[in-house]
Structure 1
Amino acid sequence: MNLFPYFDAVDFSQYVDNVPFAWKYSMGGTIEKNTHKLQEGRLKNIELAIVGVPFNSGHDDFERTATPDKLRKAFYRLADVRKLNIVDLGNLKASTSHKGNYLALRDVVDYLNELDIVTIILGGSQDYSYGVCQAFRSDPFFSLTAVDAFLDVKKGVESLSSTNYLSQVFKTMPDLFQFSLLAYQSHYVPDIYFEKTKGINAHLRLGKLRDNLSGAEPVLRNSDFLTFDMAAFKYSETANSLNLPNGLYADEACQLMKYAGASNRMKVFGLFGLNIDSETVELSVNLAAQLVWYFVQGYLIRDKRKPEQGDGFSTFSVEIPELSGPLVFCKNEDTGQLWVQVQAINNETLYFACSEKDYEAASGNEIPELWLKYVQKTDEILK
């Protein structure tokens, strides 16, 4: 597949004067160097690829936005990560319809997944997450996580938009393995709306997440795609257009991004909903750039060893009276991260990220609820 016809290339020269130190020490300098190599046809060893989606979708048409380029301006001026081969493919070219744009993004992500290249999407509106999800349509274990103050499902008869894109995802992927919503605000999400979701869930409302931010780490470690809506922030952090008095703080979000980047399973990170029309646009754009930077930092510390490989992992068996066999946990000896083992009905052994809380529950003769959900869902898939 030739990626270049899908994109308008980045003009790096417009960003050079914006950097507070030598260009070669900036993210922009590193990305420019790597991208030029890509243009020479050298796809080998690329680890991450930036994709700009310069569209904000409405009900009847879509408008082109400068959001990806403004985000690049802020991101490129940050300190480089010299051990990483990261490129910028440019901005996705407009199709003649919503559907055409979604399909183009699907094709790009699908191809990058095949090459084991992690995709970073600088969005436009969050409904483009639907296009990304379609790249995983044949993966029975696809897991989606959203960071958002709202649950974006349909409230009635509505056209596909950033406020209801999840309904279309659930409609086209009724067997979705897992969907988790992080940092949602209970006063904006009626409980009945969760009945419209599909798959296993590990939702964390804002208050619970703030009490224990590390509780999101195993959720993100189990995720293939993270879609992040800038509306998840408190108004004082980004002056978002929704004027939300509550929401995430900047440092909390940066830590979440580091967790996401460090996840071996994470293949796509999409940042959407950046408001570039506000009076405090520089604040919002700078924060968005730092989110991307911390995702990249997380990627740098990925431990690519897998629990099924055994090396560097300790195994703990916990006997629970209600179960016919022991519950097996694997612990990464360097990071302390835990996985729980699921023995599927086809005798395949699977591993899912879990928390210390799950291990403690099992040690107290209590069957971890999440483990039970994984067993039921995998049996459903593999029977």
Structure 2
Amino acid sequence: LRPGVTEADTAAAVQSVVAELTQQGIIPVVLGGGQDLTTALYLALQPFGKPVQLVTLDSRLDFGADPDQGTSRNFMNDIILHEPNYLFNYTNVGHQGYLTDPDTLELLDKMQFESIRLGEINRNPALMEPVLRDADLISIDTSVIQGSDHVAHAEAGPNGIDARTMCQLARYAGMSDQMKAIGIFEHNPDLDNRNLGAQLIGQVVWHVLDGIYAQKSDYPKCGLDEYARYVVDLSDVEQAVVFYKSSKSDRWWMEVPYPGQKTGAHIVGCAYEDYLEASAGKMPDRWWKTLQKLN
């Protein structure tokens, strides 16, 4: 797309195109521009009339700056405050503690949202797979990548997700049967030494597409009756947790009951580690957090 006369014109054009593509079942990959275009992608999903699960990958949490002036540093204000509000869940992946306001983390916690620290990702990137699997919309700020692998960002830093892990996460995103759109933002070609940053962005896109072609038509594209079902009885909290495992992909899901209802449950992606945790007698954090959202 050519940029509009104003930033609002550009955002409106992006929203229109993404809305049309997603309604046709096409997954758009949006490249370039500021991460505030995430708002346009979010609004493009409104016609579905369903709750949206948003995941951002960012070294910072974009809630700061002047709330009256929308920028890449505060676009999440617009998404959270937008009416009607379709945002069911928001997770940021890769924040760095020394770049993050503790008050913002506290605010996220009060809203039943979360941000996962860079250190947790580096310890075990595979644990991010369920987070990305449940996302309808994924927005990547290239500042989340360590500067030695992607210097083409005005705020590139020495720490961040390395190139290999970034491609691994991109493939997880593509394999999601729920993802409707993904954006990669804040790449600045004027700062790109030998175009290595552009090469990495191209490889990230390749891994997204490779993941899409590797999709297994898992939940929600198929019913849970096709999966192996495991029931773990947690006597300490008088609650049984139901897990499902796909034989096609070896991925796991679990049921979270709707409060006050005897039937029906919300299905949330999880990891094998969540099943092991429940089997050891401890309720997984992912289960508790989802229950709080449903309340």
TM-score normalised to structure 1 length: 0.70
Opposite residue 151 of structure 1, the aligned amino acid is L
**Cα gap change, 1:257/1:368 in structure 2, threshold over 3 Å: closer, same or farther?**
same
Opposite residue 165 of structure 1, the aligned amino acid is F
Opposite residue 248 of structure 2, the aligned amino acid is D
Q: Which has the higher contact order (CA 8 A, sep 6+)?
A: 2
Matched position secondary structure for 2:148: helix
What residue number does 1:163 align with? Answer: 73
Per-residue displacement from partner, 1:124-153 (whole Å, max 9, x unpaired)? 111101111112346443111111111111
Aligned residues: 288
Which residue, out of 234, 243, 265, partners 2:146?
234
Which residue, out of 24, 27, 41, partners 1:132?
41
Contact residue 150 and residue 156 of structure 2 kept, 8 A: no
Which residue, out of 93, 96, 117, partners 1:182?
93
**Separation in structure 2 between the aligned mates of residue 202 and residue 351 of structure 1, nearest angstrom:** 18
**Separation in structure 2 between the aligned mates of residue 305 and residue 128 of structure 1, nearest angstrom:** 29
Shift of 1:103: 2.5
Which residue, out of 268, 276, 279, partners 1:360?
276
**Separation in structure 2 between the aligned mates of residue 374 and residue 140 of structure 1, nearest angstrom:** 17
**Separation in structure 2 between the aligned mates of residue 139 and residue 299 of structure 1, nearest angstrom:** 24
Structure 1 window deviating more from structure 2 (256-265 vs 175-184): it is 175-184
**Separation in structure 2 between the aligned mates of residue 242 and residue 316 of structure 1, nearest angstrom:** 46
**1:309 is the counterpart of 2:218:** no
Shift of 1:199: 5.0
TM-score normalised to structure 2 length: 0.89
Per-residue displacement from partner, 1:324-362 (whole Å, max 9, x unpaired)? 552100001232210001233563333110112221221
Structure 1 window deviating more from structure 2 (325-334 vs 245-254): it is 325-334
Shift of 1:178: 0.9
How do 1:95-110 residues align onto structure 2 when only pairs under 5 Å count? 95-110=4-19
What residue number does 2:134 align with? Answer: 222
What residue number does 1:282 align with? Answer: 195
Cα RMSD of the aligned pairs, angstroms, is 2.2
**Separation in structure 1 between the aligned mates of residue 40 and residue 180 of structure 2, nearest angstrom:** 14
What residue number does 2:161 align with? Answer: 248
How do 1:275-354 residues align onto structure 2 when only pairs under 5 Å count? 275-278=188-191, 280=193, 282-306=195-219, 309-310=223-224, 312-344=226-258, 345=260, 347-354=263-270
Larger Rg: 1
Shift of 1:223: 0.4
Matched position secondary structure for 2:166: helix
Structure 1 window deviating more from structure 2 (208-217 vs 333-342): it is 333-342
Per-residue displacement from partner, 1:254-292 (whole Å, max 9, x unpaired)? 000000000101111101010100250511111111100
Shift of 1:179: 0.8
Query: Structure 2 stretches of 5 or more lacking a match?
Result: none
**Separation in structure 1 between the aligned mates of residue 106 and residue 5 of structure 2, nearest angstrom:** 35
Contact residue 140 and residue 177 of structure 1 kept, 8 A: no
